């Protein structure tokens, strides 16, 4: 054979061989791409069947401050979240335990509880694997969500409610649904079931350590859509409901209201044995409404009424933080029934945050206490969580001090 033809033949054989090697190598290296092409079908809170990527490598975006990020935070996907509502990274932490567990502070953000056409296009260009929102936000921004869902999978979860258990004492169905939908979407069904089981166990444990008391308790300065004055309260306060404590305030004119404002002069007509204060309200200590409320209570105490005052854990910011709510319920049981020591109470609270956030939850309570110590100090008061306090009169102003 001609040497030139032989050389050409050898080159051709080597070329074919190298193509085969390339194809084999390409097939092997594309396994991840094929995995990302696989999906799992999720039926969300709107009854939509959504195909979600089986492997979430390109990020998660949350839209809506009433649940998406705080529920996702229980599933160990912190490092997958790439954009959130503005309030999740710019508002004070207060009762948001997930913000103590994970540092979301440097994430890109969009306006709270909204999806503009421009943001829908921009988020779509990010090509996240998953967008999580809630029913109210979906309904209010439907046109723009329909634009966005052409680019990525969108899961809608139930709105949060100011209830946690049904009349029979069982965990509310909407709450189970949230965990179930997210567990399916993230491929973490076992974790969803674990959370449902653990939450039920906490409810049961709270019942076991709660007793009976004739004391009526007023909860002051509750945080909802920001901090509030001392005459802001809830007549349906979940930590009281879970522990069987009697709320001192009932709004007979509006029995279903979530937030109520008590006129300062009405404090003299309320039967109050104890007061729990939300430390988020420390920045409202000098407001006229707070000062009038404290003046009334101070006068009652100086007049001989045995009203004891304690600092508890905030449970609400944009909507309820169920982890913090459970922690506040243990605070309530500790103050009211003496069924746990202080050390046991703190261990229960630490256990809650670890249940929700794993190892990242171990420092949440410590960080939370430091945060509120610093915040209250900045406004000239002392509101340490899990401690008894008193009202003082200093240079014409009413203050809160440790007892």
CATH of the domain at 263: 3.40.50.1980
Instruction: Classify residue 201: in a domain, yes or no.
Output: no
Name the residue with higher pLDDT: 48 or 316: 48
Would you state the structure tokens that stand for residue 263, as one six-digit string?
């006129």
Q: Is the pLDDT of residue 29 over 90?
A: no
Per-residue confidence band for 293, with pLDDT thresholds at 50, 70 and 90:
very high
Of the listed ranges 158-167, 230-239, 274-283, 317-326, the least confidently predicted one is 158-167
Average pLDDT rounded to a whole number, residues 186-209? 95
Same domain membership, residue 363 and residue 254: yes
Asked whether residue 178 falls in the same domain as residue 216, the answer is no
Structure token pair of residue 237: 């306060």
What's the rounded mean pLDDT across residues 382-399? 97
**Confidence at 168, pLDDT banded by 50, 70, 90:** low
Q: What is the pTM of this model?
A: 0.88
3-state secondary structure (DSSP) of residue 212: coil
Residue 21 lies in a domain: no
> What pLDDT is recorded for position 151?
95
Confidence of residue 324 (pLDDT cuts 50, 70, 90): very high
Q: How many domains does the chain have?
A: 2
The pLDDT tens digits for 132-163 are 999 999 999 999 999 999 999 999 999 988 77
Q: How many C-beta atoms surround the C-beta of residue 149 within 10 A?
A: 15
Same domain, 390 and 243: yes
Q: How confident is the model at residue 267 (pLDDT cuts 50, 70, 90)?
A: confident
Q: Is pLDDT larger for residue 396 or for residue 19? A: 396
Q: What is the mean pLDDT of the chain?
A: 89
User: Are 250 and 296 contained in the same domain?
Assistant: yes
- Per the domain annotation, does 317 fall within a domain? yes
For 218-241, the pLDDT digits (tens) are 999 999 888 999 999 999 999 999
Distance, CA of 240 to CA of 287 (rounded, Å): 27
The predicted structure's pLDDT at residue 6: 38
Same structural domain for residues 390 and 317?
yes
Average pLDDT over residues 178-182: 97
Q: How would you label 101-130 residue by residue, b for 16+ Cβ within 10 Å and e otherwise? A: bbebeebebbebbebeeebbeebbeeebbb
> In the 8-state DSSP scheme, what is residue 2?
-
Domain boundaries, position 230: 208-402
Domain closes at, from 188, 221, 240: 188
Residue with more model confidence, 161 or 401? 401
Angle at 120 between CA 117 and CA 126, to 5 degrees: 145
Polymer length in residues for the chain:
403
pLDDT in tens, 349-367: 999 999 999 999 999 999 9
């Amino acid at each position: 054979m001609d040497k030139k033809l032989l050389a050409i033949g050898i080159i051709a054989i080597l070329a074919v061989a190298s193509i085969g090697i390339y194809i084999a190598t390409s097939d092997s290296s594309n396994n991840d791409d094929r995995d990302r092409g696989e999906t799992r079908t999720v039926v969300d809170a709107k009854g939509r069947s959504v195909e979600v990527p089986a492997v979430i490598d390109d990020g998660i975006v949350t839209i809506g401050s009433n649940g998406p990020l705080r529920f996702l935070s229980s599933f160990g996907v912190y490092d997958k979240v790439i954009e959130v509502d503005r309030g999740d990274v710019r508002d004070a932490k207060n009762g948001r335990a997930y913000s103590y567990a994970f540092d979301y502070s440097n994430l890109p953000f969009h306006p709270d509880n909204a999806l503009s056409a421009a943001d829908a296009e921009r988020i779509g260009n990010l090509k996240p694997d998953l967008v999580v929102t809630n029913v109210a936000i979906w309904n209010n921004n439907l046109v723009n969500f329909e634009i966005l869902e052409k680019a990525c999978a969108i899961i809608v979860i139930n709105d949060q409610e100011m209830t946690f258990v049904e009349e029979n004492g069982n965990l509310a169905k909407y709450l189970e649904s949230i965990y179930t939908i997210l567990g399916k979407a993230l491929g973490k069904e076992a974790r969803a079931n674990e959370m449902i089981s653990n939450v039920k166990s906490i409810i049961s444990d709270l019942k076991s350590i709660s007793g009976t008391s004739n004391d009526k308790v007023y909860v002051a300065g509750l945080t909802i859509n920001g901090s509030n004055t001392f005459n802001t309260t809830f007549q349906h306060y979940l930590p009281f409901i879970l522990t069987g404590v009697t709320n001192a305030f009932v709004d007979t004119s509006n029995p279903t209201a979530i937030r109520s404002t008590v006129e300062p002069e009405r404090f003299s007509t309320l039967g109050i044995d104890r007061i729990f204060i939300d430390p988020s309200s420390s920045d409202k200590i000098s407001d006229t409404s707070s000062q009038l409320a404290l003046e009334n209570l101070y006068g009652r105490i100086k007049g001989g009424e045995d009203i004891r005052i304690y600092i508890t854990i905030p449970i609400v910011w944009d909507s309820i933080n169920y982890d913090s709510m459970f922690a506040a319920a243990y605070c309530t049981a500790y103050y009211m029934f003496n069924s746990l020591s202080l050390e046991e109470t703190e261990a229960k609270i630490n256990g809650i945050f670890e249940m929700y956030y794993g190892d990242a939850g171990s420092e949440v309570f410590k960080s939370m206490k430091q945060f509120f110590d610093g915040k209250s100090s900045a406004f000239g008061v002392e509101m340490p969580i899990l401690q008894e306090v008193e009202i003082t009169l200093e240079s014409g102003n009413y203050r809160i001090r440790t007892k």
